[in-house]
Amino acid sequence: MPQSVTFTQATLKEFGRDSGGAWARFEFPLTKSVISALNWGELADYETKTSLEGDLAATVISLTPDAPELAKQATDIDAQRVYHFVATKQEIEGSRGKGKRWLIQCDVSIRDVAGCQKLEGYMASVPKGKVRVSYERAPEQQQVPGTEDADEDQGEPAAQSAHPDAAPLAPAVTMGGTHQTRKPRADKGTIN
């Protein structure tokens, strides 16, 4: 099921096309709703710039101007991913050193063939707007019993041979409650 996150007061900073396809860079203030949607923790007071984790498998980004008179400039663009989130602490305009805020920049890979044309029209007429990103959340891999990470969590040592000249053993395989260790096949390097 697609999910979405909205970046408010977003500015399209730049866009272009290179050998990898079309791309765009957006900047927006960090809000509590973005922090909770992307599972980011609070940023430390002493930090001034930091990279944040996140790589969204985006399907569509919807650009909507803040000003109602520019509503006809709203557009949807097919996207591949939203990534490379960087937070920068900046002074709030007009606060004379009494307030700071976090601004986030992120990159968007675009798969829409008319994406740059749409972005050019949007950038020329819209100073700030909302960017709604529809994305698919990546499934979380559960640990499979008998794998190395699961064995380390349970304190079980990895399978080892008693003879120093013996071929390395494959990870242990649990079958029906018995614990078996198999050697890799010499011709393919896979377990028999």
In a domain, 192, yes or no: no
Q: What is the C-alpha separation between 16 and 71, in angstroms, rounded?
A: 24
Q: Are residues 121 and 162 in the same domain?
A: no
In a domain, 187, yes or no: no
Predicted local confidence at residue 153, as pLDDT: 52
Q: What is the C-alpha separation between 25 and 121, in angstroms, rounded?
A: 15
> What percent of the chain has pLDDT above 90?
57
Residue 182 has pLDDT above 60, yes or no: no
In a domain, 190, yes or no: no
Predicted local confidence at residue 138, as pLDDT: 66
Q: What letter does residue 165 receive in the DSSP assignment? A: T
Q: Are residues 84 and 159 in the same domain?
A: no
Residue 60 has pLDDT above 90, yes or no: yes
In a domain, 143, yes or no: no
Q: Are residues 83 and 42 in the same domain?
A: yes
Q: Are residues 101 and 163 in the same domain?
A: no
Please tell me the total count of domains within the chain.
2
Q: Are residues 7 and 31 in the same domain?
A: yes
Query: pLDDT, tens digit, for every residue of 89-124?
Result: 998 877 777 788 999 999 999 999 999 999 999 999
Residue 189 has pLDDT above 60, yes or no: no
Q: What is the C-alpha separation between 124 and 65, in angstroms, rounded?
A: 12
Contact 153, 143 (CB under 8 A): yes
Q: What is the C-alpha separation between 189 and 160, in angstroms, rounded?
A: 17
Q: Are residues 83 and 130 in the same domain?
A: yes
- DSSP 3-state assignment of 119? helix
Predicted local confidence at residue 1, as pLDDT: 67
In a domain, 47, yes or no: yes
Q: Are residues 121 and 156 in the same domain?
A: no
Containing structural domain, residue 38: 3-136
For the whole model, what pTM was predicted? Answer: 0.70
Mean pLDDT over the full length of the chain: 81
Contact 59, 79 (CB under 8 A): yes
In a domain, 22, yes or no: yes
Burial of 10 (0-12, 13-18, 19+ CB in 10 A): buried
In a domain, 142, yes or no: no
Q: What is the C-alpha separation between 24 and 77, in angstroms, rounded?
A: 11
In a domain, 162, yes or no: yes
Q: Which residue has the higher pLDDT, 184 or 124?
A: 124
Q: Are residues 130 and 168 in the same domain?
A: no
Q: Are residues 32 and 116 in the same domain?
A: yes
The residue-averaged pLDDT of 22-45 equals: 93
Distance set, CA 168 to CA 158, 161, 179, 184 (Å): 11, 7, 17, 8
Distance set, CA 146 to CA 17, 70, 88, 153 (Å): 46, 58, 43, 11
Q: Nearest Cα to 191, choosing from 159, 149, 165?
A: 159
Q: How confident is the model at residue 155 (pLDDT cuts 50, 70, 90)?
A: low
Give the number of C-alpha atoms closer than 13 A to the C-alpha of residue 45, restricted to the C-beta side: 1
Q: Are residues 36 and 63 in the same domain?
A: yes
Q: Are residues 25 and 87 in the same domain?
A: yes
